[in-house]
Amino acid sequence: MPFMNAFRAAAAAALLASGAALPAQAQESAAEFFSAPFQNLRNGLGLRPQQAALPRRVVQFTTQYAPGTIVVSTKERRLYYVMEDGKAIQYGVGVGRPGFQWSGSQAITRKAEWPSWTPPAQMLKRRPDLPRFMKGGPDNPLGARALYLGSSLYRIHGSNEPETIGEAVSSGCFRMTNEDVTDLYDRVRVGARVIVLR
């Protein structure tokens, strides 16, 4: 339906350009009417549609770790944010490809919104075609948010390739959709413990 797509694009552009504050009911109707790419544009999380293949949800999670801890299961390709009462928020993640997976304990030492990216020397050696620096933004591989793990080169970060969530594709970092990493970012404090399991 090319006409409807063009109509929706024009309507979305007009809504965004107006900057008008709509009542809650009108906002919900607009959200149902416009397609996913425009939802992301309105939310300011990126210009690409991001549909999670592994949607986040609250699950039962019996663990010895304190609330606020992040547990990453590389095998499951899931990240758990531990909450009270034996529950956790479960997110889908992309993990390290074979040869780049790791396990251990780290702490969140830094948080960044729309982080810039400087590929480490080890990565540039493998991929000399990569840029030496990328400014933060929707095209940046680190996506909307990044949580830095200790003094390591690893991060939990967003992605401009949501189709890779649930896959083993990274150089050791943990990828999330921009929506999910933003949700996690708002919950996690600097100093929080991160446990990575194989």
Q: How far is the CA of 196 from the CAs of 28, 96, 107, in angstroms? A: 38, 11, 11
Pair 196, 106: CB distance under 8 Å: yes
Distance between CA atoms of 137 and 45, rounded to whole angstroms?
Answer: 9
Distance between CA atoms of 93 and 181, rounded to whole angstroms?
Answer: 10
Q: How far is the CA of 10 from the CAs of 1, 6, 16, 22, 118, in angstroms? A: 14, 6, 10, 18, 37
173 a catalytic residue: yes
Say how many residues make up the chain.
198
> What tokens does 56 get?
């986040």
H helix or E strand, kind and range, residue 32: helix 24-33
> What tokens does 66 get?
């304190």
49 a catalytic residue: no
Query: Looking at 93, 149, 173, 194, which residue is catalytic?
Result: 173
Query: Looking at 56, 78, 145, 157, which residue is catalytic?
Result: 157
SS3 label, residue 18: helix
Show which residues are catalytic: 157, 173
